[in-house]
Structure 1
């Protein structure tokens, strides 16, 4: 099931997407069916629906927090000259960094090197703490596509990650949440102006999705709608104003955002 959040002619709604396509070029084939209240639990339909092309896709969820896992692909750690950590290396991105498909990534004037990082993202479905890896699947609502945008020069200058990862618009999510997916071996591809930049697979993760949830939930309570960014494969690179970046995760779809100067 694909669950999304849309702006429609009379407001904003959570919906289930019916039809075939990845949402990038085929929205006329897709229908958005409104659900009651929120996407958690078994959806109840209001009876209202719209052709997806007559709506605007928003970030599929508004998390209380985004927990990201760094250096979770050995090839990415190597390209930045970093060691692979024994345990998940986590950091937080603020909820205010979240944007949806088509919204611009804004290059702040304080950075000269803003980079893309295409990733699989996990959306939490219920409040949880101290979740074992064996039970991790039970707390997952579904999966979406993410771009962990990073001001690399500021990250390196500060040593820690907060400033370089936290600017408004630095966490695109979308196009929707796929609830029925095996995350163990999916293609993760990033294109910049239609040029292939990243081409990895989630099977190359150092720490699996289940291990990440076990590790993070031992530290902090996860709430419905919270998002975990699971790491990026090699091939990260600089984005410039005027360019367009697209991240595609197999089994979910494509997340595309233009890049603009702030």
Structure 2
């Protein structure tokens, strides 16, 4: 198991590395092509972590836990949608509540990070194109979600596509847990073996119709019933081995 991060130094330059405790061993980026060490080691405290990949597509699965369906049947076909790249935020960034959005919820999720170009990948071969997993927060404006036919603003507003802090490799797809905490209190708990459309099936379904590129990410769905956010709240998403994604809520 290894943890890959991207970071920005105090001089503004960006880099990538292997996170080992409180230190980062710098490597060349993109790290799914090679993991060549440069010989440089940085203190984690000396850099700011960035979203750990630079996706060209952000795909999300909706309604993928029975606990999130509220007794409704699972959608057939599955519900999928995209987030715009402008929604991306990373570790330590603020969650900005849009004006007039009404209720906004966090949605803690296990996020798949693609490591190889993938088109028409079978369920059996899905693991071969997955680089690893990270924490995700599919922030969602509920009133806009209910009002609109498409979820373009409900799930695509700036800072609504948060992921990080690291990409963890070497996990079994059906043995990943996710927890959401708001102000230190657990608000969600789920696991990958509870997904209605599991991780291999998700890769198969998505790659059947679109080409996934290295660095692309797939949010796999959220469990339970998240709570509404208010300015000042601190949201933490924790995924097995990937660390804790921590963000503070502010008014827009």
CA distance in 1, matches of 2:176, 2:36: 30
Is 1:4 paired with 2:5?
yes
Aligned position for 2:131: 141
State how 1:117-132 maps to structure 2 within 5 Å.
Answer: 117-132=107-122
Which segments of 5 or more consecutive residues in structure 1 lack a partner in the other structure?
Answer: 20-29
Aligned position for 1:58: 50
1:195-226 CA distances to partner (integer Å, 9 max, x unpaired)? 11112222110011000000000111101110
CA contact (8 A) 2:28 2:34 kept: no
The offset of 1:165, in angstroms, is 0.5
CA distance in 1, matches of 2:174, 2:111: 13
CA distance in 2, matches of 1:35, 1:168: 30
Which segments of 5 or more consecutive residues in structure 2 lack a partner in the other structure?
Answer: none
CA distance in 2, matches of 1:100, 1:190: 16
CA contact (8 A) 1:76 1:232 kept: yes
CA contact (8 A) 2:61 2:81 kept: yes
CA distance in 2, matches of 1:230, 1:40: 21
3-state SS of the aligned residue for 1:137? helix
3-state SS of the aligned residue for 1:17? strand
CA distance in 2, matches of 1:161, 1:18: 38
Is 1:190 paired with 2:180?
yes
CA contact (8 A) 1:107 1:260 kept: yes
CA contact (8 A) 1:16 1:32 kept: yes
> Which of 171, 187, 193 is the matching residue for 1:181?
171
Q: Give the aligned CA root-mean-square deviation in angstroms.
A: 1.2
Aligned position for 1:31: 23
CA distance in 2, matches of 1:74, 1:31: 39
1:90-125 CA distances to partner (integer Å, 9 max, x unpaired)? 100011111111100100003011110000000001
Q: TM-score when scaled to structure 1?
A: 0.92
3-state SS of the aligned residue for 2:133? strand
The offset of 1:82, in angstroms, is 4.2
Divergent runs of 4+, >6 A: none
